[in-house]
Structure 1
Amino acid sequence: MTTSASPSPVLSPEHLARAYSYSAYRQLITTLMAEGKTTGTTQSEALTAYAQLNIQRMERLDKQVQVQPELLAAVQGLQQRYVWLVLTEGWCGDAAQIVPVLEKIAQASQGRITTHYLLRDENLDLMDRYLTNGGRSIPKLIVLRADTLHEVAQWGPRPAAAQELFQAMKAAGATHEEFAEKLHGWYAKDKTHHTQQELLRLINEMS
């Protein structure tokens, strides 16, 4: 999580034209799944299988996530309006665990936060400005002032505790299947707590 002040608008008219609302993003993933596909430039049976699981994860989170009281008070107390720009893809497991939480928080803000979702592979010029340890890790949240589209903060690709788990498994030479099992097990036990707490700190720093 970092706060910053970019010297120029982050979101170009071209980016905005490619952006999805949350409902349109979800519909895109579902439509592609009916064709045996997922989002992104790479297609494989494995990625499609991950995307299918992610649809189920997002559906569950859409129904179950409750914004924590402190976070609810913080977003409803914002004195300015913000755009939350989210880089994501349908096949990304971390995105499936986090994007519904971002949307719930934005919806709870009573119009103070609006969301725009961009596909990573279609916006590499933007993605490459927000690398994590040199990689194009997603989801990535970029917080912009609504009036100027200047950047004020960024967050992602996952809560710090999950990132530490990921780095430890990577250092130990874990397979993708081991990564997925451990990380999604962590998300299931955490029940969005760390994600919401980190976003609360980000919002408090913005205020």
Structure 2
Amino acid sequence: MSYPVFFNQVRKITVHDPLAQLLGANSDGNIEYSYTDAVKLAGHSCPTVAGAYLMTLKALESLYKGQTPQRGGVKVKFRDGLDEGVAGVIANIVSLLTGCAAEGGFKGLGGNYVRRDLLMFNAPLNDQVLFQRMDTGATVSVSYHPEIVPLEPSVMGLLRKILAGQAQAGEKEEFANGWQDRVRRILEQIDNPELVVCS
């Protein structure tokens, strides 16, 4: 199985999951996630998947400021409804990285390690997503602006040919390379405050 090289060049996210430690999933409860993990969950790599990963990374860095984030210790609210736009895709990746879940999530053990009802939609927010630490109440709001890294116009032309069943094999490969080139350029802007705006 081969992925583009840049997938593993993206800054990784390490979290501490006390439930994983308690249940023996690993000895210290620390879990490292990469952009490749987000791609595996989504089944594809695109600007939305990249944005979900980056928004979560930047939110956790802001909330924990040099400390290891606590998986299961963050509540997340979305401005959009679950079925609006790409909110559901983003929420799946946020859930992977933070442990938060909607009503179908883990119910906990003796009132501890509860993961359900930590992921909400249709919240009255100005920004896209709000992350909140459950121990301190600290919050950070984030919005993602992939438009600052535009797609080459020729790539959309190739996509139209593919969807119309008119593309040759070489054109399909050219499209895939062009599509992932934009994702790469987005991820290279990881620390650009205009890409993921935190407030």
**How high is the TM-score relative to the length of structure 2?**
0.34
- Bigger RCO (CA 8 Å, 6+ sep): 1
> Over alpha carbons, which structure has the higher Rg?
2
